[in-house]
Structures are given as structure tokens and as C-alpha cells.
Structure 1
Amino acid sequence: MELLERDHERAALETAIETGGVVVVLGEAGIGKTALVASAAHGRHALWGACDPLITPRPLGPLRDVAGQVGGAFARAVADGAREDVLAAARAALANAALLVIEDLHWADDATLDVVALLGRGLARGAGASGASGATGAARPAGAGSRPRAPGCLVITARPDARREVRRVLSSLPGERIEPGALSPAAVARLAGRDAPDLHAVTGGNPFFVTEALAAGGDGVPASVRDAVELRVGALSERARAVVELAAVVPGATELWLFAEPAAAIDECIAAGLLHLQGEALAFRHDLARRAVEDSIPPLRRRELDRQVLGALEFAGHDDPARLAHHARRCGDTEAILRLAPRAARAAGAAHQQALEQWEAALEAGAGEEALEGVAVEAYLSGWPERGIEARRTLAERHADDPCRLGDDLRRLSRLLWWSGRGPEALAAGDEAIAILEPLGATRELAMALSTQSQLAMLGDDLRAAIELGQRAATMARWLGDDETVVHALTNVGTALIGGPEHERGRALLAEAIELTRDDDNACRALINRATATLSRRREDTRVDADLDAALTFAREHELYGYLQYALGVRANVHLYRGEWDAAEANARASLDLGEQRGVSLCPGLVCLGRLQARRGEPEAGATLDEAWRWATATGELQRIAPTVAGLAEHAWLDDRLEEQLPHLEATYALADERRQPWVRADMAMWLRRAGRDVPGHPEDPEPYALAAAGDWRAAAAAWQRMQYPYEAAGALAEAGDVEALEVYDRLGASRTAAHLRRRLRANGVRKIPRGPRPASRNAPGGLTPRESEVLAQLRTGATNAEIAQALVISTKTVDHHVSAVLSKLGVTSRRELKRPGRLSSAADRE
């Protein structure tokens, strides 16, 4: 197909390839991403790899493709699967090539995403450094007759509707973004050789849809691509149709030796434009066509084709377990699933989500204890504890006659239950584990069970018990030479010490644990605990930002999504405290977007979002805070309950019904006092005083609360301001009746809080009350809000939604809503129309 209306995109891509770095080509299926990249790569040394739409993706799938082209150290690194070796091999290979193309990243496995993210960031830094050195005009080394070679270019193609993990990686990569648009009516007419408004209307200008419809022939235009593909397949001979059907059940390219039909049948498919050669393999010109053919194959015939492919691949000695397991699962071959899914799970390495899916497939097929253990472990590591609880319970039942294994199962079950937000059940399982293991004497299992109970005590703010159990576990583990249990126990003791008189010793123990461990879960837990304990018990410690950044980076790079979800929610609350509310919302939504079945890890994001919604007067606030309350109370932990109670109290207070929350406030105050948690106790006391209760100050109250309890509101406001907590500072000013608080509320966008204060001021007889900001939308084109105006400005630069989200520090989903609102208010149907001269003025005139 002629490459029409792609001159600008091709020039940008060629420039990026020359410069080096990262280019992401984003577009819907069929828009021509691969054709554009192939055109720009023509004549250059390019390495190509593609992600396949397997049920469970091949770990490092596209890098395996590249390994087949490069061989040597690259092939060995991919076969071993060690991330650092694969990354080093990819960098070395790219040093000898102009570009590395990763096609269809939206189908990537987690391990591939990990390598792509690290490789892309490194290339972007290298390209930036190269550009910087070139800009200085520094002299070249003697004898250098040409410009130093660019560091290589990573070119990624992907769809914008990719899963969240893929979108997150793409948004984190600096570099060029290229989004090919739909073809214009003129371009469609050129391809059709006639005016074709009907064809453009039906296809929306999608190049693949257009070419499929044209190739189908006939007088009319097919109603869909499926119809176009079916018409083309229907014109094939019986043997050629057999070729197409076999190719349709193989995601990606199909090796030529898999086809039993004669070469003439294959040539017929190529001539029809359905398939094309890729080296020694056949592939559909576009996966949409493959899926259309696959969907048209009767189910029993489709299963037989998958069985045929599986048998041929195994007979030929094919050794990609993920690909083999895909066909085994598609054809329902129980024996093959039992044989291949465990292999694929073990080969998945750090791709925990993919490993979990393979173990679950094996378990469904009737696999035994290894699959149960695999499901239980990978469900925990991938952040889906509910999917592992039943497997761990089953293992405990099977080990009922083996006290050591039974006790260890119960200890592991305790951890899964805690992640699921089922605190009391977790404690009961842990107590039972210790009771079973203690009669056996000092064992690794007992040491870890003691440390697990230490952890639960620490999470429940029973710090004395946490320290005693943790020290006992560490002593036993050192005697046994069990370093990882020592690390686990040190993490519990260190976390318990943070915020108290031995705060620095606590941080030192956590640093020791991080240094000593070789286990990703232990390391991430220590990093998370250091950040969250410091934030909740010693808010004035300025190291909390660096702590959180370290925890987030580690969780993301090691695909520990339960920890990542939790850390994002915690960071959202940090932004909330500091008055960075757009960033708070973006982080809270990013946390919640990771899933709805992750228990404890949902709590921080829900609380942050609920409090934001309450302060802004958004109707969803009550439902969000109720959901947070449901998860918090299931844990029974003060650190989950207290922020939720504060959010519910604020929400009720803004409607002048704070008395409804008195039972929760009194119970939480009593628990905080019992557990000696000064920040929580002081916060609950503040809300109780607002409800009319006479609660005296406490000697251990943090400074801003102590000053407020003494009635020195302006000093309290200054103390909050020193901590960079503007909303809390405004709250202290409001209690003093100072109208300056309104300026802060209005600036933050706390419209409901501001309205509440204005009512109180009027009731107190204050006459000169600032009216608040005049709605900017009255003067904006089309009646746009201030945020919509910012989005419009970004749109006019050609920025993608991901780039707008990054620039304005909001979520991509929020950008989607704003873009839709902007287009609707301005009366346009596409982003391109926003660039037309006079477009905005005419829209405003209609208002």
C-alpha cells in the first residue's frame, strides 16, 4: 500500500533514528504503525521483535525474536532469562544497529516491559548526553572525521488502549511520540481511484480497513473489516483456506514447515493479500485479519488446528513453553497442559502475573501440590492474595499429618489473609502456626512464624509485642543461619522503633535489612515500611520523599504490584498534605487502577481520593470513603482505620452532621491512646473538640495540634505551614475566624470547605467576606473551565493524552474526560479541528 499522508511522521521518525533515543509510535489497530516504521527503517540495520497475543504472553517474547537474529551472547542471555544479562545484551546489540523495533508492546509480558523500560530510559539519557555534548561545540578527538555515532534508537509500536502496566511504561519513557492519524477523504479517494465518501465513512479512514474493503471487491462497501476479510477468504481455494485457518490460530508468524499444503496454496494466500512472508514464516498483514479469520472457524475445528500446531511444534523440538502452553490450553489437551503449563510458569521468572496464570491453568487441569504452591506464591507476589488463599488452605489440609509443613502453610496463609484485609483471620492463622511449630524446637519455620506474628503486631501498632517477637525471631534465625528470616525480623523491629525515642536506630535496622536481603519481597517490604512508618509517625522527617521514591522504583522494576499499589496511594497522601492536589488525584487513581481485589493496598488511595472529593464537593465522596471504611475495618489496624475515620469525620463536618461520627472518633481516639500513637490521638482529639467534646491536650501532642489545643490558632497555622501542609494551616486560620483561610481553600480548589467557612463567618456576623474566585469559564472560549483551558493549550501543540497527563500531573483517564469535554464545548469532532484558524473564535461566538 502506498504510504499516504505520513511525510511528517516519517520525517520525525527518521530524525529520531538518526539522533538516537526512544520513539513510541502509538495508534489504533490498522492505522499503519508497522508500515511507517518499516518505511523509515528501510536501508538501515534494524533488529525486529514482536509481542504475540498469546493467552499468557511469552516471557521476553520480542527479545527472543531478536536473539534469533543476533545469536551469541544475546541468545544465551535470553535463554537464561536473567534481567541484567538480557538488558546488557540488548544494549550491546543496539550498539551495532541503527534501531531496535519492538512491535505491539500492548501484548507484552511483564519481563519484556521491565527490560524495555530500563533500556529506554538508558537510551534516552544517552541521547540527551550526546545532544548536549554536540551543542557545546567541543572539539572532536584528533582524527575524527565525522560526527560520533548516535547511541541507537529504540522504536516501540503500541495501541493506546493497552493494559495499564503497558501504558505506565510508555508514559515513563522520555522521547518522541508519534501518533499517525486516520486518512483523509482525499487519501481514501486516491487509494480507491474514485471519490469514495461512503468508503471513508465506513472505515473512518483506517488504512487497514480501507485496503481490506477495496481488496474485497464487489459493488458495495463491506460493513466491517470482518466482512471484508471473510469475502477475501471465501474466494480462496479449499487448500488456500486451510493455510489461512492454520495461520489464524498461531499468534504472530507461523513457520512455513508447519503447513502441509503445497506451495501453490501458500502463494494463493500471498497473492490475495491476506498473508505475507516474514523470512521463513507466514504472517497476516494485520492481526485484525487474523482474528477475523480465527473467529470464523467453528470451535471444534479451531481446537483441532491448535492440537495440530502443538503436536508439530513438540515433534520438532520447539522449546518455548509459553507458546506450547498457549496451544495446549486452546485445544483443551489436559495431558499437555499438565506437562507444559508448569514449565511455562517456571520459565516466567519475574513475570509473576504470567506465572500465576500458568499455574492456575495447570491447577484447573488437575495438577497437584507444585501447582498449588505456585498459585499461592505467585498470587502473593503479583498482588492478588485472594487467588492464593484457597490454594494455601488446600496445602494445609494435605499437610495435616506433617506439623512442620502444616505450620509453615498456616504462617504463609496468615500473610495472604493480611494482604486481603482480613486482619483477625491472619492473626488466628499465625497463632495456630506458632502453636504447632513450637513443640518441634528451633526451626526455620518457627523463626519465620514468630517474625510473621511480629509483623502483624507491628501493623496493629502493638509495638512492644512486635519488638519482643521480632528480636526472638532474629536471634533464632541467626543461630540457624537463616539470613532472610533475620531480614524479615529486622524489618519488623526497625519499623516498630520508627517515630519513638529510637527513631534513628529503627531506620538503621531497616537499612541493614535492605542491604542484607537477596529476596525481592523482603527488600520491597523494608523500603515501603521505612517510608510509611516515617510518614505516619514522624511527619517532619524530610527523608520521606526519598524513601517513597526508592520504594516505588523498586516495586515497579520488580513487578511487585501489591506493594506498588500501596506505595502509590501513600504518595498520593503526601501530595494531598502538601497541597499538590492534582498530583494527589493522579497518584490515587493510578493506585486504584491497578485492581480492585488487592485488599490492604487499596486503603491509602481510597482515603486520599475520598478526602479530595469531600473537600471539592464531588458527589462520589461518600461512596469512596465508605469503600475505604469497608477495607479498613476488615484489617482491624489503627493505621488503616484512623485516616478513614478522619476522612469520614471531615465529610460529615462539612455537612454540619459531625455528631454522626462520634462513636468512630471516640473508639479510634481510645485505641490511639492505648497504642501511644500521638499523631492519630491528636487528630482524633481535634475532631472530637469540633463535635463539642471536651478533650484536653496531651503532653505528647505534636506541635501544631498542641498549639491548637491551647487555642493559639495562628501559631498552629504557622507550625503547619513550616511542615508545608497548607490545607491544615488554613484550617487553623479558619478556627481563628481569619478570612485568609478562604484564599488558601480557593487556591486549592476546596470549594466545599470554602463554602462551609463562608457560612460560619456569616453566622458569626462577619460582613466583609471575600466572594471567592469568579468562574473563569465565563470568559474562556466555549465556556471551558480553567483545567479544560490548560488541556486545550496542550492539544493545540499536538500533545498526546499521555503527554498531557504528564505535563499537568493528572491521570490519563482524567485527560480523556477533559478532552471529550473540550471537543463537545467547542463543537468539534476531532483534535485536528482545534488547530484550524478561527476555530476557537467561532465556537466562542456561538456561546
Structure 2
Amino acid sequence: MLESAAEGIAGVALVGGDAGIGKTRLVTELVDQARERGFNVLVGQCAELGDALPYLPLADALRGAAPAVSAAAATRPLLGQLLPGTESAPAAGLTQQRLFGSLLGLLADVQPVLFVIEDLHWADRSTRDLLVFLSRMVQAEQVCVVGTYRTDDLHRRHPLRSVLAELKRLPTVTSVELGPLKSGDMFDYVATLGEVNAQALGLIVSRADGNPFYAEELFAAMTEGDSMPDGLASLLMTRVEVLSEAGQRVLRAAAVAGRRVEDELLREVSGLPLAEFEQAVREIVSRGLLRVDGYGYAFRHALLQEAVYTDLLPGERTRLHAAFARLLTAPAELAHHHLAGHDLAGALAASAEAGRLAERLGAPAEAHSHYDQALALWDRVEGAAELAGESREELAFRSAVTAADSGDNHRAIVRLRALPPTSEVNERLAYYLYEIDDPAGAIEAAERAVEEAKDQVALSRALATQARTLLWSSRHQEVEALTTRALETARAAGAKDAEVGALLTLAIHVEHQGDVERAHQLVETASAGHTGDLAMDLRARFHHARIHYDQGMMSFAAEVADDGIQLALETGLKWSTYGTDLRFLRFLIHYATGEWDEAEGVAAGFPVRVGTQPEAILSSFALFVEVGRDLPAVESRLSWLAPFWSDALAVYMSRGLAAEHALWHGDPAAALEHVHAAMAPLIEGDSGTLRLAAIGLWALAELGTTEGADELLSRARFAVDSGPLGQRGHLGPEGLAWAARAEAEWHRVHGRLDVELWRNVVAAFDYGFVYEAARARWRLAEALLASGDRVAAQAEWELARKVAGKLRAVPLERALLEFGRRARFGGGSDGAGDRAGDRAGDGGLTAREVEVLGLVAEGMTNREIAQRLFIAQKTVSVHVSNILGKLEVSTRTQAAAAARRLGLLT
């Protein structure tokens, strides 16, 4: 609009939004831009004074105008009266028309002009008339008029409403509604305010509801230890205090109910007659304090509800909570109101029931919260077990399991360790300790679970879990016997979950021993049907999908993973261990098969601003595509993941990909640091070593040093030949492909571009890993060119470029284009045009010899020239000998001097 005004097309913009949403910030930026473009700027402010001071924003604008504008206004008597030291402007009638005419003349004389009128919701009638006049009359002038107003202050009968409705129909008027910022933008904005931890940041963003001003106030209050800033509370309450007494009464009752309340429930608690209640609600809704939401009402903003609730007197608050408790039957709401009304016995009973209900409905996080609330009240209530319907130990056990189901294994472990050590408690403790990578603790707890088992069901679960904890330990040879015993016990006791757990552990064990066919059979048996334990069902589906992914059977793996993800979403277990694992496995299937747009779509649901270990692990997988496409989110994601680098999987994924990111951006030293950090927590022989070793060797090749190369290759070979803890097992196609690449990269570090080795890498990844096959073709093309097979090199280069372009793999595309430029690809596919150029020489030198001479003049060694031109070092030596002979010199320095003298260098 500012550009249009500069071109002589006038316009009016009406900018609306809630208080604090950013209207003034937007206008300030506009004013700065206008001044940079040479506009005369007029800014006027309306005030909450009614019609006492007509034309207040116009007078305000003229008084703050530039001297040239003030001088021009002073020559117009009616406008001059608005300047400092004069009397107030005359009122309406013909005088108003003359005043508006004078203003129009002024704007024409001092154009281009930006005229800003702020806070139109407080505008007097004369100012509203002025806005209508300008909107209709400015047409071909270099004039831009901008008005701002608060949408949350426009109640149903507000006089500005009709004016806005009329103006928005005009072709010269543009309406701009500023809504709340999205959560991602809010996170970024709050992060600019200062240092704040992840938990506090999340709390500010959730409470601010997309309002930047509210976020600023909350941030300032949080740094001072306050919950609700006084200034913000006062601002919010000024809108409440204009309500009638009945309106305030209804709003106070609504605040006690929470963010949302049913119409009938609110009417009952308010205690007003129906007609008076409906009139009060209409008033509240018209002022934008509540909005209609289904069969009830919701606060326009969470902080408004909080401010009204905080403003209640203690007795008033207690009585209202008690009133809601009498009318409610839903356990969760009932527990809340009982607690707020100081009815602790009622709160405990309702919390326990709310937890069981949430558990049945597939909401483990909510169930855990309710159980913990009941446990917190336990010692303060007589007859707690009767009220809760179960013992304290049973309730605490439920709390632990639901904590794990919602992704908080650490919380589950803390809760279990506080319980008497029964077989059931130790079995779950072992299971969760294994999940957080504490094998020693898991084995110890599992052994206690087996020893303390009182019945066959408990014994079967304990045996299955014990076998799982020994999978990657020095006692792995015990796994088959333990799983066999667990299966027999589970089948005899009818413990389906223990049976499936034992089958899955046995499948992993035999798979690692190389019996892949038997592993498939075991996993398929485990995945058939349901166990009654949702977490175990997810584990079965994950391994069913994973074993097919590891064998390169991508289509089937995708189908099973989708089924598992759907189950996790439906049952509320998406943040449980296997709910998370299934989602990142599905992402990896998209990534490997070249469905990068789909993978990026899945990754959009992976949080960047992580606060828990499951979130960090899931977030780290998004880096595959973000690094591969060099997306801006990489740096931000890595900074949020850094605090979680104590977790083995999070550090393996995120730092391994951080290494690739550093390599693409020319920092091999940083890449090597990431590789060593990611390898540190891995046990000897872990297959994850293969990928990291290959990346580390890539970094060493870029650094031009062989130091540490043998150690990296040795670790990779140990993973292939010996496996974890000396257990030589089965490697799937991806593992074998990374092993082949590590071998080829090691030779590259030592200056050898081995065609056959890189051909093996391409073939190994060509089972369906699209991107890695293309990256291998890049190196194969380099090796082929160095060997002199230019035609084959260009063919591999073109195949790699086609894939990189399809994937929008920007760093790989850049590398391929640079390689193609230096290799002088781009003529005919057979390279004939380039070879013809080689025969055209200057000073007796061929084109290739001139190119080599230029690099000799730069001081490069033969090895460095070979790497730059992708030819063999021996070939460089032949070129240098030919150059010395043709130029009749004996040293490289003399050759460079002769070349400069002959003008052969550019």
C-alpha cells in the first residue's frame, strides 16, 4: 500500500487485532519505511475521552509533524487552530466540511504522506467522520492512511462497528486482521527476549496464546518469580470492570469453571434468573470476553480467565468451586472442584476414578496426573484406600505404568523404586531401566523379579524381561534358554503379553545369530492378534516393521508401521517408547525410499523445541531430511537437542547428522568432533559404528590427514566381523552398505580412488536406499574420472544429479555441479567435445597441460593436482614432465615463470 501511494494510488488500511497482538509494532515498522522513502509522516493517537476533545488524533498528528508540514498547516486557518498555542478546532456543520477540505489540501501540498490514526476504538465522532471522509476522498494523491483498533474492545453496540462495516466495502480500503502468532513463531519470539529454559519457554508460549505483549509480560514476571504480572492483570481486568454487576457475577463463575463451561452449568452456579442470566451472557459475549463454544462458552484468552479467577476473594472462590462440585459428575472436573473447595476426601476419590477412566480412554498422561494427585492427598485423608477403591501400592504402580506409557520412563522408575519390591514391581523396573539404557540395573532388577515371583503369570513376565535385559550383555548365551522357559510358563498361565515379549526377544537373538528366516517367523507369530497390553502390542508391531526394513523390504515395513502408528494414536501411546519408535521408523522408510516430501511432512510433527527424552529422540530423526536438503531448521534443532546429548540414541542420531551438516558446509574438523562424540557411548561392535566410521573417514579425507583413519576402519571391521560384545551376527543390507563405504572412504583418505570399491558401495545401497546410492555414485564418478574412464564417469554423475534434483538434496546437488564443472562435463555425453579441447594447445601445450601448469604455478603438489582435477597422480607426473620438456626448463618454479612470460596463465 505504501508503494501504491508513492505511485499516486491512494489507499486506506484498517488494522485490527487484540490488545498486545502487534498493531503498534507493525505501524512503527511502516512509519520507519515511509520515512526512508521520503514520506511526510503524521501520527495521531485517540484517547479514551469520548467526544470531549474532537479531532484529537488530527491535532496530535499536526503537533508532532515535521516543520515543513507544520508550516503548511499554519497557512490554513482551520488547521492552524489545531497547532500548539491556538484554541480548539470548531465543531460540526459547514465548519467541519471546510476543515476536511483544508486537510485534503494540506495532504496534496506535502505529499507523499503517511497518516496514521491509532486506537480508533476510542475515536470521537468527529474523528470517525474524518476517517470516512479520507477513505472516500483520497484517490489519486500520494497518500496512505492507516487506522488501528482493538477488536476485543468492539462490543456489539460500539459506534466504530458500523463505520468499519461501511468502509470495508470501499475499493480504496484494505482490512488487515492480526491474529495470534503460531506456536513456532511464538517460541522464536520469546527466545529473543532472553535466556529461558525449555520448560519455562513452553509455559510462557502456552499461556500467552499467541499474543506477543502477553508473552513479554509473562517473561518479565517469570524472571522475577511472579505468576501473573500486575500490569497485565490490571489491563485484563479493566475490560471486566465495565460489565454490569450481573455480567461480572457470571464471568466470575465462568472463571472458576475453567477455560470452558457449559451454558446450563454456568446458569445454575451463577444463581441468576434465566432472563437476567441471558442478558448478562449477551453482554459478556458482545464485549469479546467469552465466545460461544458449542453448547457453552469459552474465554477468549486463557490469561483473562486466570486474571478473573485470581481476582476472586478466597471465600467466594471456595463457594463457587463447591457449587460446581455439587452439580458435576465427570471425575476429572469433580476432582478439580473438590480440591479447590477444600474437600480433600472427595478430591482423592474423584482423582482415582478420573485416573482409571483416563486409562481406559487411552490417555496415559492424564491418568498419571490424576493418580499422582490422589497419592499426594493420601496421607491427609482418613480411609484413603476405601475412597480410592484400591491400596496405595496398587495406585502407585498404576501411576508408574501410565507415566511410562506417556513417554516418561524416568518418572516411572522413580515411582517404582519407592514401592515394596515385589516381583511385579521389579519386572516393570527392569523393563523401564532397559528402555533408558541402564543394562546393569535392568539385569539386577529382573533377577529379583524372577526370584520373588509368587505365581506363574508373574514368573513368565519376569523371565521374558530377564531374557530381554541379557540380549546385549556378556550373558547373551542364556537368552534362548530363558525365552524358551518364559514361553512354556506363559502359555501354561495364559499370559499372552509375556509370551509375545519372549517371542520378540528370541527373534532379535536369532536374527543377530544370522537365522533371519526364523526371526521373521517368530516376529510374525508375536504380531498376530492382541495381547491385552497395548505397550506390548506396539512393541510387536515395531519389530515386525523393523525386521522387514532391515532386510530392505520397504513396502511391507511401511504397511506394518502405519498400522502400529494408528494404534498408538488411538490409544494415547504415541509418546511411549514404541509409539515414538514406530513414528521415526516410518520416517526412515520414507527417507530411504526417496519419498523426501512425505518424510518432511512426517517430520513436521517432530518437535523442534524439545523438553523430554522421547521428544529429543524423535526430533533428531528429522535431521536426516533437513541436513540432506540444507534446510534452515538444522541449526535451531541442533541447539535444542544439545542438552539431550547424554542419551545414547539422541547423540548417535543428532551428532552423526551434525557431522554431515558440518561436512557439507566445509568444516571437516567439527564433523570429526561430532563423530567421535557420537561413537563414544556405543559398545564395541555396535552396527551404528559403521555409519559413523564412514562419515569420520569422509571428514579425514577432506582434512587431508590419515591420522585416526586406521582406528575408524578397525572399529567398522570389528562391527562386521565380531558384532556387539564379540557376538558375530547378521547385518542387513544397509549395514553391509555402510561397511563397504567405510572401506572405500579409507582408501580415499590415503589418496586412492578405487573404482571397484565404489562400485561395490553403489551396488550395496542400490537395494532401495535412493539417496545413499546417489552419494556413492558421486564418488564412483570421481574414481572413474581419475582412472581415465570419462564416459562412464559422466554417466554415473548424470544419474546422481538426477536423483539429487528429484530429492531437492541441495548440498549433494552443489557438490555434483562443482565436480561436473571441474571435470568439464556438460558437452556431449561421450565427452568428445572436452577431448577435442585437450588437443588445442598454446605454446606447444595441450589444454590439459595448461590447466596443470596453472595449478603448478599455485604451488600445488602432484597429489593435490590429482585431487583437484580428478585424475591419477601418475597422470599428473606425466603432464608435469611434458610441461618441463616443452618449456625447456628443469624445475616447477622455472615452468611457472616461463608460463607467465608467455602469457599462458590467467
- Per the normalisation by structure 1, the TM-score is 0.55
Q: 1:462 to 1:549 in 2, by over 3 A?
A: farther
Return the offset for 1:295.
0.8
The 2-side partners of 1:643 and 1:211 are apart by 66
Return the offset for 1:548.
1.7
The residue identity in structure 1 corresponding to 2:241 is: G
Q: Deviations over 1:51-89 (max 9, x none)?
A: xxxxxxxxxxxxxxxxxxxxxxxxxxxxxxxxxxxxxxx
Instruction: Tell me what 1:210 maps to.
Output: 154
Return the offset for 1:377.
0.9
Q: 1:655 to 1:369 in 2, by over 3 A?
A: farther
- SS state at 1:590 partner: coil
Return the offset for 1:693.
6.3
* 1:359 and 2:404 matched: no
The residue identity in structure 1 corresponding to 2:431 is: R
The residue identity in structure 2 corresponding to 1:556 is: L
The 2-side partners of 1:262 and 1:582 are apart by 58
Return the offset for 1:323.
1.1
Match for residue 522 of structure 1 among 495, 516, 536: 536
Match for residue 678 of structure 1 among 731, 742, 767: 731
Instruction: Tell me what 2:825 maps to.
Output: 768
Range 562-571 or range 747-756, more displaced = 747-756
The 2-side partners of 1:305 and 1:298 are apart by 11
Match for residue 320 of structure 2 among 309, 314, 317: 309
Q: Deviations over 1:780-835 (max 9, x none)?
A: xxxxxxxxxxxxxxxxxxxxxxxxxxxxxxxxxxxxxxxxxxxxxxxxxxxxxxxx
The 1-side partners of 2:621 and 2:564 are apart by 20
Match for residue 692 of structure 1 among 722, 735, 746: 746
Q: Contact 1:239–1:265 (CA<8 Å) still a contact in 2?
A: yes
Range 258-267 or range 736-745, more displaced = 258-267
Instruction: Tell me what 1:478 maps to.
Output: 491
Match for residue 391 of structure 1 among 407, 415, 419: 415
Q: 1:440 to 1:542 in 2, by over 3 A?
A: closer
Q: 1:455 to 1:585 in 2, by over 3 A?
A: farther
Instruction: Tell me what 2:462 maps to.
Output: 449
The 2-side partners of 1:623 and 1:651 are apart by 24
User: RMSD of the TM alignment (CA)?
Assistant: 4.9
Match for residue 409 of structure 1 among 417, 425, 438: 425
The residue identity in structure 2 corresponding to 1:692 is: W
Instruction: Tell me what 1:531 maps to.
Output: 545
The 2-side partners of 1:288 and 1:440 are apart by 55
Instruction: Tell me what 1:749 maps to.
Output: 808
Instruction: Tell me what 2:241 maps to.
Output: 234
The 2-side partners of 1:691 and 1:715 are apart by 12
Instruction: Tell me what 1:25 maps to.
Output: none
Q: Contact 2:236–2:307 (CA<8 Å) still a contact in 1?
A: no
* 1:252 and 2:261 matched: yes
- SS state at 1:579 partner: coil
**Structure 1 segments unaligned to the other structure (5+ residues):** 1-27, 31-184, 218-222, 696-707, 772-847
**Structure 2 segments unaligned to the other structure (5+ residues):** 1-16, 20-119, 136-144, 162-212, 215-231, 380-391, 652-680, 724-728, 783-792, 829-906
The residue identity in structure 2 corresponding to 1:320 is: A
Q: Contact 1:375–1:387 (CA<8 Å) still a contact in 2?
A: no
Range 480-489 or range 223-232, more displaced = 223-232
Q: Contact 2:267–2:274 (CA<8 Å) still a contact in 1?
A: no
Q: 1:630 to 1:216 in 2, by over 3 A?
A: same
Instruction: Tell me what 2:648 maps to.
Output: 632
Instruction: Tell me what 1:838 maps to.
Output: none
The 2-side partners of 1:230 and 1:299 are apart by 9
The 2-side partners of 1:540 and 1:556 are apart by 25
Q: Deviations over 1:363-395 (max 9, x none)?
A: 344564344223211111112222222111111
Q: 1:658 to 1:677 in 2, by over 3 A?
A: farther
The residue identity in structure 2 corresponding to 1:434 is: E
* 1:548 and 2:605 matched: no
The 2-side partners of 1:745 and 1:265 are apart by 69
Range 642-651 or range 252-261, more displaced = 642-651
Match for residue 586 of structure 1 among 583, 596, 601: 601
- SS state at 2:261 partner: coil
Q: 1:499 to 1:723 in 2, by over 3 A?
A: farther
The residue identity in structure 1 corresponding to 2:364 is: H
Instruction: Please show how residues 656-667 of structure 1 align to structure 2 within 5 Å.
Output: 656=703, 666-667=714-715
Return the offset for 1:502.
4.3
Q: Contact 1:652–1:661 (CA<8 Å) still a contact in 2?
A: no
Q: Contact 2:446–2:465 (CA<8 Å) still a contact in 1?
A: no
- SS state at 2:588 partner: helix
Q: Deviations over 1:733-765 (max 9, x none)?
A: 522422323443344333333444566678xx7
Instruction: Tell me what 1:112 maps to.
Output: none
Match for residue 380 of structure 1 among 393, 404, 429: 404
The 2-side partners of 1:388 and 1:262 are apart by 50
Return the offset for 1:666.
3.9
Q: Contact 2:689–2:716 (CA<8 Å) still a contact in 1?
A: yes
The residue identity in structure 1 corresponding to 2:393 is: E
Instruction: Tell me what 1:509 maps to.
Output: 522
Range 573-582 or range 668-677, more displaced = 668-677
Q: Contact 2:348–2:378 (CA<8 Å) still a contact in 1?
A: yes
Return the offset for 1:545.
1.9
Match for residue 557 of structure 1 among 570, 579, 583: 570
The 2-side partners of 1:628 and 1:744 are apart by 34
Q: 1:732 to 1:272 in 2, by over 3 A?
A: closer
The residue identity in structure 2 corresponding to 1:373 is: F
Q: 1:729 to 1:246 in 2, by over 3 A?
A: closer
Return the offset for 1:488.
1.6
* 1:652 and 2:702 matched: no
Return the offset for 1:517.
1.7
- Per the normalisation by structure 2, the TM-score is 0.52
- SS state at 1:591 partner: coil
Q: Contact 2:545–2:560 (CA<8 Å) still a contact in 1?
A: yes
Return the offset for 1:346.
1.1
